[in-house]
Structure 1
Amino acid sequence: MSEKASAKTICFLSVGLTVILAAGFLFALPRTLFDEPFSATVWSRDGRLLSAKVAPDGQWRFFPTDSVPDKFRTAITTYEDKRFYDHFGVDLLALGRAVGQNLSAGRITSGASTLTMQTIRLSRDGKPRTLREKLIEMVLALRLELRCDKDEILALYAAHAPFGGNVVGLESASWYYFGRSARQLSWGESALLAVLPNAPSLIHMKRNRERLREKRDGLLDRIWRSGHIDSLTCALARQEPLPEAPEPMPMQAMYLLGKMKKGALRSTLDADLQSRINALARRCNNQYRGNKINNLAVVVMDVHSGEVLAYVGNVYDPADRSTGTSVDVIPAPRSSGSVLKPILYAAMLDNGTALPTMLFPDVPTYYKDFTPQNYNRTFDGAVPANRVVERSLNVPSVRMLDKYGRENFLSLVRGLGFRTINRSAGHYGLSLILGGAEITLWDLTAAYMLMAAKLNDQDTIHAPHYDPANAAVVSADDIPLSRGALWLMFEAISHVTRPEEEGEWQYFTSSKKIGWKTGTSYGNRDAWAVGATPDYAVGVWVGNCSGEGRPLMTGVGYAAPVLFEVFGLLPGGSWFSEPYGDLEPAVVCRQSGFLASQVCPDRDTVMIPQSAAAGEVCPYHRIVNLSPDLKYRVTTDCCDAARIVRKPMFILPPAQEWYYKKQHTDYQPLPPLHPGLSGAEAGGDPIEIIYPQPGRVLVAPKSLEGEAQSLVFTAVHRDRNAVLFWHIDDEYLGATTLEHKLSVRPAPGQHRLTVIDEHGASKSVVFSCR
C-alpha cells in the first residue's frame, strides 16, 4: 500500500473514530436520569404540606422541585463544590489536588467529585466505585452540563441525595427532620442537611450527635468566612439544637391523598381551614361515638372559584380500621334522605306548578306500592309550598313530585350533576324525593355550590376539580333552574329552624344568613346537612360506613350542628341579591297561595319567576249561597232569591279540611244545609274516602298463625257531627261518628265501597282484595 493510501486510511479511521466518540458522548446520557417512585403528597394552596405517604419502595422521596432554596444552595456548594458555578462538570483544580493527595498517602483519600458528578453517581446507584466508573462519571457529568443549567443540576441532586435512613431528597428531609418546607429552614438547619448526603449514616437521634454538630458548625464557619452571613448569624446558627426525633408527617388530607398513587397534588385546600375542620370533625366524632356513630365527612367549596377549600373524607384513625375510618365517604353513594326537596321546590316554581305560598295537600296518602308518612306522623291538611320545604314534610313533598313528574325531576337532578341517580323513573318511583336514590356528598355540595354560583350571576362556573368527571367550566345556562326560582328557594331554606344552640342566630350581628337543608335516610342510617351562601357551600354527612342505623340520629340533630360550626369558621358576607330581572309581581290569593281568582277576597302581591305567570288560579274560593242570618246554605227552593246572601268562602276538600281546621282555628267551614234541603239538592261533596283509594289492590295483613286480619277503612266528612253509613257491594257494614274508621275483612276479589251520610250524600270507590 502506498504512503498516500495509508495516510488516507489513517485519516478516514481518525474521522470515523472521532464521529463515533462524538456520537457516544452525545448519546451517552440517558434521556431520563432517575426512574424512581415518589411519595404521594398533597399540598395546600399556599404550598404547605398537608399529607404524605412513603413511596412504593419504602422511601420518603418527594416529587422534585424546580429550584433549591438559597440557604441550602449556599450551604451545599460551600461544603461539596465551592467552584460549582465555574466548572463544566469536572473541577480540574480539585482533581489535580486529589491526585496529589492520593499519591502522597498511597491510598484514596479524596475523590474530587463535583456536585454534577455526584448527581450522575446517584443516577447510577449500585455501580462500584472504581477508577473506570469515575471516568464514566466525568464523561457523563460533562454531558449533563450541556443538557441542563447549573440550577437544574443542583435541583436534581437535592431531589435524589440520601439524607439518612429511608429519607431521600431535600424536601422530604426537611419535613422529616424539621416539620416544615426547605424554604423555611434556618441557616443552622440548612447547614445540617448539607453535610448529611456526604455521610448520611451519621444522622441518628441517639449516636454520633457531637460529630454531626461539629461538621455542621464547621460548615457554618466556612459560610461566614466566605461572606454569605455575618458573625452574629453564624453564632446564632451554631446555637440551634439538633433534632431530637423525626417530626410526624402531616395527616391533614389523608383521604385526598388516598385518591393518588404517586406524585404531588398542589390542591386548592386552605391549610388553616383544613386543620380547623379536621379538629372539629374529631371532636364531634368523639362525642357521636357515644351513640355508636363512627364516621363523619365534611367538604367546603368556594362558590366564586369552584375550588375545594376543605376535604375531610372521614375522621382518620389508623389504629381503628374496624369502624370504617379508612373509607373516604365523600365520593361514596348513600341514601339521599330529604336533601333534594329544595331542588324540586325550585323546579316547580320555575314551571309554574307551584308558587311560594301555594297550598299542597297534607293528608293520609296511599299509592300503589308506597305510603309516605311525615316524620312526626301527623297531618296539617294543607301546607304552603315554602313551608313544605322549610319543615321538610314528606307527604306534600311526594304529592309535589307526583305533580311535577318523576321523569322531569330525574332529568333535572342529572343536569345538576347527581351522577349516581342513574336508574329509571320507574325504578325510583315517588320515593325518590324521600331518599329512594343514592347520592354522594361531593355531588350534593357541588350542586348547591353551582346553584349559588348561578344566583350570583356568574357567567362561567368552575366545577370542583378533585373529581375528574366534574373538572370542567360550566356555563350558567347549563344550570337547569332560573335565578328567580333559585332565589326563592334559598330564601325558603334560609328560614329553616336551626339547631337549639343556633336558635337565636338572627339576633347576633356576626351570624350569617345561610340557605340550608338536612336529610335523614330510612332507618336513621345517614344524616345529611348541606348549606350555601353567596361565597361558600358546605356539605356534611354523619353515620356509619357499615350502613348501621342508630336511634335518634337525624340530619338536624347530628349533621346540622357540624354544618353551622363549619360556617362559623368561614368569613362572613352578604346575602344573595334579589334577581329583579328574573322575577315579576303576581297577585295571589292570601289563603291558598294560588293566583287570585275573581272571587278571592284577600290578595297579596308576591314575586314569582317569569315562567310561572301562567300558573293555576285559586280552586278553593267559591261563592256560597247563605241564609240572611248566615247560618245555613240555601237555594231558591228554601229561600227567597232576593234574601240570599252570596258570600265568597275558602273551602278545602273534606280530607284536607278535617286536618287543616285543627291547626287553623280561624278556618270557617261551610255552614250546614238548610233543614229543608238534602245533600243532593244543595250540591257539593262533603264526604271523602281516604282509604282505600280507587283502583288499589289491598293485601290483608296476617297474624302469627297465618290468619287474615281486618283492614281499617277511613273517611272524613265536612260536618264533624255527621253520621256515616258504610256498605260493601250493597251490604250494610255499620255506622261511624267523629273518627270515621271501620275494621273490614273483605273477601278476595273486586268490591265497591260506598259511604252515605244522613242527608243522602254519598261517595264510592272500587278496589280489589287478595
Structure 2
Amino acid sequence: MRETSAIAPATPGGRWRRIGKAAAISVAAVLIGAGAFAAWVASLGPLPLAQVRQVSTSIVDRNGKLLRAYAMADGRWRLPVDAKTAVDPGYLKLLFAYEDRRFYRHGGVDPLALGRAVFQFVTSGRIVSGGSTITMQLARLMEPRRERSISAKLRQMVRAIEIERQLSKDQILDLYLALAPFGGNLEGVRAASIAYFGKEPKRLSLSESALLVALPQSPETRRLDRSPDRARAARDRVLDRMVEDRIVTEEDAAQARAAPVPALRKPMPILAPHSADQAVATMKDAPVIRLTLDSSLQKVLEALARDRAVAQGPNISVAIIAVDNESGDVLARVGSSDYFDERRAGQVDMTRAVRSPGSTLKPFIYGLAFEDGFVHPESLIDDRPIRFGSYAPENFDMTFQGTVPVRKALQLSLNVPAIALLDRVGASRLSSRLKQAGGNLVLPKDEAPGLAMGLGGVGVTLQDLAQLYSGLARLGTTKPLREIMLAKDDRDALRLMDQVAAWQVGNVLIGTPPPENGVPNKIAFKTGTSYGYRDAWSVGFDGRITIGVWVGRPDGAPVPGLIGRTAAAPILFDALARTGKLSAALPKPPKGALVASNARLPLPLRRFRPLGELVRTGNDQAPRIQFPLNGSRIDVDRSNSGQFAAMPVKVAGGVLPLTMLVNGVAIGDIDSRRQRLIDPPGPGFARLTVIDATGAADTVVIRMQ
C-alpha cells in the first residue's frame, strides 16, 4: 500500500498571497526608506545662504575700481564677484571645461559626469575625477566637511538640487567664484587674482587662468607662497587637459607653461585709506561702498604727497584734496603723506583737521567788498601803517607798498589792505557768510569774530577751504562736498557771494605770480602761512577743478621757513598738472560786471575810503546816513504774513538826486525830504549805501532781527 505525501499541493491562491505579502513588504520598505530619506533631507535644515553671502567690505571708486578692501572678522579675504562683467571669459571657458561642461544644462547633479567618474574608478582602480558639478562644489563650500564618504557625496547632491531650485545659474556661478578656496585666507577668484597677480580677474593670461582653475582642487598643498612647484605642476596638468580636449592649442599651452608662477603674495590695494575708513564708519555693514573718488587721480596725488613730504623734511606731512567744481564731488583725498608712517601721524586725516588758514580767507574779504560795491579790482587802496584800536597789522615782509590797486593788494597778499576791507565789510558778516556757504570757522572759546580772522586768527579745515574756493569757480554758489555716492543726491547750492564779485575774485587770483614750477594765468590760487610757521597752504581752481594743499606737522609744532608760496604752491601746480587734463578756462564775465581802468571808474570806486571817511567834492556837503546808525541792531516789525515791515532810512546832506543801494543793489532814489522806506532783505547783516549826484557816498552796516 503506497504512502501518500503529507504536503498538500500548492494552490494558485496561496502563491498569489505570498507574492502579495512580499510586495507589501517591499513597498513598506520603500516607503520606510523614502520616509527616512525625507526625514534626513529635512534634518539638513535650510541652506545657509545668508552666511555664505557675507563678503569683505569693498571700497570702490566712481568707476567701480577697488580702492581698498577690509578682511572679514575671521581674517578671510572674500570679495564679491560678477562673472559677467568682472571675470575674464577665457578663465570661465577653462573652468567649465575642466570642472563642469554641462553647467548650464543640468539641475545640480550631472548623471553623465557621475557615470564617467564611476567607470574611471572601476577601470583604473583609482579616483580619476569626482563627478562633482560646480553646484555640488558650492554645496560643499557652504557646509564644509572633512570626511569623504558616500553619505557626504549624497548630501552634496541633495544640497545641489536645492541650490538650483533657489538660485539662478548666474547667481550660483557668482557665489562659487566668491567662495572657492585659493590657499591661506584667500577665498574667491578676485581675492586670488589681486593677491597673486596684483590685478582684477577681468583680464587674465592663459597661464594665469589655468593656475586659478587648478588651485581650488587642493588649495593648501598648492599654495603659491609655500609650494610654487606643486602649483606649477597642477597648472600644467590643466593645460594638458585643455590640449587633449582641444580647448587650447599646443602652441598656446607651451607659451603658458613657460610663464613663471608667482611665489609671493602681493598686498591688497590700500588707496584713499582715510576716505575708506570714514566710509566704513558711516556706511556700516554695507558690502560695497562706492565713493566719488577717481582711483587714477588718487594714486598719482598720493605719490606726489609722499615724495614732497620726504623732500620737506622729517615729521612733515602733506594733505591734498581735489574737488569737481560742478558737482561738488571729491575726486581725490590724500589725508597724509603716508598712512603707515607713525612719525608723521599718518593715520590722522589732515584734510579734516582744524588748522589756522593764514591768508587763505583774504579772497572772501575782497569778494564781499566787491559785492557791497565800495571797491573794485582797479580801485586804489593804501598799504601803510594803520591801527584799529589796539590792533596794528603788518605785512609778512614787514614793509609797506604805499598806494596800490586792489588787484595787486590781493595778489601780493598784503595784510593792511585786507584788514582795512574787513573792517569795512565786518568780521561777523564774513564769518556768517562763510558759514552759510559751508565753511565752518572755529573761533577760540568765548571769542567773537574779529579783524585777526583775516590773517588766520580762526580755525578751518582744508576740505572746507576747498568747498569755499570751488564756490568762486561756480560764480558765487558752493556745493556741499560729497564723497559717498548714494542713490539720491539732495544737496542744494549754498550762497557765497554774488556772481560779479565771485568772478572778480577769480579774475584777480588768476593773475597771481605762480611759483617757479607754475605756468602763469592757468590757475587762480592763493597761498597762506599760519602764525609761527605751523601751516603752509595753497588753494586754487580753474574752470573744472579745485585743489587744496596743506603742508606742516600734524602735531602743530612750528617748522621754521615753512611758507605757503614755497612749500604748498608748487605742490598745487604739480597736482593740477597730474590730473591728466588741460586747465579749463574760468567762466566769462557775468552780466553786470564792470571791466574798466581806474580812470574810468565812478568817482566813489576810484579809491577805497575806510569806514567813516566820506567822499567830498568841492565845497558840497557829502551825504550821510542819519538813520539807521552804522553797527546798530534793528528790531523790525513783522507783518501778519511774517514778512518784515518797511524800514525808514534818513539821509542828511548830499546833492540830489540821491540813490539808495541795499547790499550793493540799487533800489531807487530818495525823495526831496531825504527819506525813504525800504523793504529789509531779511534777518542778518545788511549794507545800506547812499550816493549823491556828484558821486559822494556813505555806507552803514546794520543787523536786522
* TM norm structure 2: 0.73
Aligned-pair RMSD on alpha carbons? Answer: 3.9
The separation in 2 between residues aligned to 1:397 and 1:235, in whole angstroms, is 74
Which of 544, 557, 582 does residue 548 from structure 1 map onto?
A: 557
Moved more, 142-151 or 375-384: 375-384
1:537 CA displacement: 1.0
Aligned: 1:246 with 2:255: no
- Give the equivalent residue in structure 2 for 1:82: 101
Alpha carbons of 1:165 and 1:197: their partners in 2 closer, same or farther (altered >3 Å)? Answer: same
Aligned to 1:487: 503
| Partner Cα distance (1:140, 1:218) in 2 | 30
C-alpha distance in structure 2 between counterparts of 1:541 and 1:209, whole Å = 46
**Deviation digits for residues 48-86 of structure 1, max 9, x if unmatched?**
444445433222322333544312212222222222222
Residue 306 of structure 2 is aligned to residue 282 of structure 1:
yes
Pick closer, same or farther for the CA change 1:150–1:420 going to 2, 3 Å.
farther
**What pairs with 1:482-631 in structure 2 (closer than 5 Å)?**
482-502=498-518, 505-506=519-520, 513-570=522-579, 571-584=581-594, 595-596=602-603, 619=614, 622-623=617-618
Provide the residue aligned with 1:62 in structure 2: 79
Letter in 1 for 2:78: R
How do 1:710-749 and structure 2 match up within 5 A? Answer: none
CA distance in 1, matches of 2:353, 2:455: 19
| 1:233 Cα offset (Å) | 2.6
Aligned equivalent of 2:331: 309
Which letter does structure 1 place at the counterpart of 2:132? Answer: S
From 359, 372, 375, the counterpart of 1:354: 375
2:469 is aligned to: 448
| TM-score normalised by the chain length of structure 1 | 0.67
Matching residue of 2:162: 143
Work out the CA distance in 1 between the residues paired with 2:273 and 2:597.
55
Larger displacement relative to structure 2 (63-72 or 533-542): 63-72
Cα distance in structure 1, aligned partners of 2:185 and 2:319: 33
- The structure-2 alpha-carbon separation of the partners of 1:57 and 1:622, relative to structure 1 and needing over 3 Å to count, comes to same
Structure 2 counterpart of 1:399: 420
Partner amino acid for 2:603?
Answer: A
Once residues 487 and 390 of structure 2 are traced to their aligned partners in structure 1, the CA distance between those partners, rounded to angstroms, is 36
CA contact (8 A) 1:65 1:159 kept: no
293 and 358 in structure 1: CA distance in 2 versus 1, 3 angstrom threshold: farther
In structure 1, distance between residues paired with 2:590 and 2:219: 69
Cross-structure match for 1:34: 52
Q: Is 1:190 the equivalent of 2:209?
A: yes
Q: How do residues 117-132 of structure 1 correspond to structure 2 at under 5 angstroms?
A: 117-125=136-144, 129-132=148-151
Equivalent residue number for residue 178 of structure 1: 197
Alignment of 1:278-427 (within 5 A): 278-289=302-313, 292=314, 294-316=316-338, 318=340, 320-367=341-388, 370-380=391-401, 382-419=403-440, 421=442, 426-427=447-448
Counterpart CA distance in 1 for 2:504 and 2:459 is: 26
Contact 2:467 2:479 in 1 (8 A): no
What is residue 630 of structure 2 aligned with on the other side? none
SS of the residue 1:137 aligns to: helix
Kept in 2, the 8 Å contact 1:120–1:137? The answer is yes
Mark the CA change 1:398 to 1:130 in structure 2 (over 3 Å): closer, same or farther: farther
Query: Closer, same or farther in 2 for the Cα pair 1:441/1:435, shift >3 Å?
Result: same
The answer as to whether partners of 2:431 and 2:441 remain within 8 angstroms in 1 is no
**Contact between 2:197 and 2:262, CA under 8 Å: does it hold in 1?**
yes
Task: Please say if residues 228 and 263 of structure 2, whose CA atoms lie closer than 8 Å, have aligned partners that are also in contact.
Answer: no
Partner secondary structure for residue 546 of structure 2:
strand
Counterpart-to-counterpart distance in 2, 1:207 and 1:423: 59
> 1:173 Cα shift?
0.6
Distance 1:106 1:469, change over 3 A: closer
Contact residue 359 and residue 382 of structure 1 kept, 8 A: yes
Which amino acid letter does the alignment assign opposite residue 575 of structure 1? A
Structure 2, unaligned runs of 5 or more:
1-27, 621-705
Closer, same or farther in 2 for the Cα pair 1:517/1:361, shift >3 Å?
Answer: same
Does the Cα contact within 8 Å between 1:406 and 1:425 map onto a contact in 2? no
Question: Which residue of structure 1 lines up, in the alignment, with residue 664 of structure 2?
Answer: none
Contact 2:178 2:190 in 1 (8 A): yes
The residue matched to 1:332 in structure 2 has which SS? Answer: coil
CA contact (8 A) 2:525 2:539 kept: yes
Q: Is the contact between residue 529 and residue 563 of structure 1 (CA under 8 Å) also seen in structure 2?
A: yes
Tell me by how many angstroms 1:527 deviates: 0.6
* Residue equivalent to 1:95: 114
Amino acid at match of 2:506: F
Q: In the superposition, relative to structure 1, how do residues 171 and 207 fare at CA in structure 2: closer, same or farther (>3 Å)?
A: closer
Change (3 A) 1:342 1:240: same
Q: Does the CA-based 8 Å contact 1:450-1:463 persist in structure 2?
A: no
> Which residue identity is paired with 2:420?
R
8 Å CA contact retained: 1:305, 1:461: no
Distance 2:303 2:573 in 1: 15
Amino acid at match of 1:494: I
Match of 1:256 in 2: 275
Amino acid at match of 1:57: D
How much has 1:384 moved relative to structure 2? Answer: 3.7
**CA drift at 1:150:** 1.5
Q: Residue 399 and residue 472 in structure 1: after superposition, are their counterparts in 2 closer, same or farther (change >3 A)?
A: farther
What amino acid is the match of 1:547? Answer: G
**Does the 8 A contact of 1:451 with 1:479 survive in 2?**
no
Alpha-carbon shift at residue 462 of structure 1 (Å) = 6.1
Matches within 5 A, 1:143-222: 143-205=162-224, 208-222=227-241
Between the aligned residues of both structures, percent identity stands at 34
Asked if structure 1 preserves the Cα contact closer than 8 Å seen for 2:543 and 2:587, the reply is no
**Alignment-mate amino acid for residue 331 of structure 1:** R
Query: How far, CA to CA, are the matches of 2:164 and 2:486 in structure 1?
Result: 43
Q: CA 1:143 to 1:273, structure 2 compared with 1: closer, same or farther past 3 Å? A: same
Shift of 1:31: 4.8
SS at match of 1:310: strand
- Aligned letter for 1:555? G
Say if 1:129 and 1:435 are closer, same or farther in 2 by CA, change over 3 A: farther
Tell me, what secondary structure is at the counterpart of 1:196? helix
Give, in whole Å, the separation in 2 of the partners of 1:112 and 1:97.
7
For residue 564 of structure 1, give the secondary structure of its aligned residue in structure 2: helix
Pairwise CA distance, 1:201: 1.4
Task: Tell me how far apart the structure 2 counterparts of residues 369 and 145 of structure 1 sit (CA, whole Å).
Answer: 82
- Indicate if the aligned counterparts of 1:299 and 1:308 stay in contact, CA closer than 8 A: yes
Aligned equivalents of 2:365, 2:478: Cα separation in 1: 22
Change (3 A) 1:495 1:417: same
1:432 aligns to 2:462 (yes or no): no
Q: Could you report, residue by residue, the CA deviation over 1:624-667 in whole angstroms, capped at 9, with x for unpaired residues? A: 9xxxxxxxxxxxxxxxxxxxxx9xxxxxxxxxxxxxxxxxxxxx
Unaligned runs of 5+ in 1: 1-9, 507-511, 605-611, 625-645, 647-770
Mapped partners of 1:307, 1:98: distance in 2 = 57
Does the 8 A contact of 2:320 with 2:334 survive in 1? yes
When residues 62 and 402 of structure 1 are mapped into structure 2, their CA distance, relative to the original with a 3 A threshold, is: same
Q: Report the CA distance shift for 1:574/1:156 in structure 2 as closer, same or farther (over 3 A).
A: closer
* Whole-Å separation in 1 of the counterparts to 2:461 and 2:390: 26
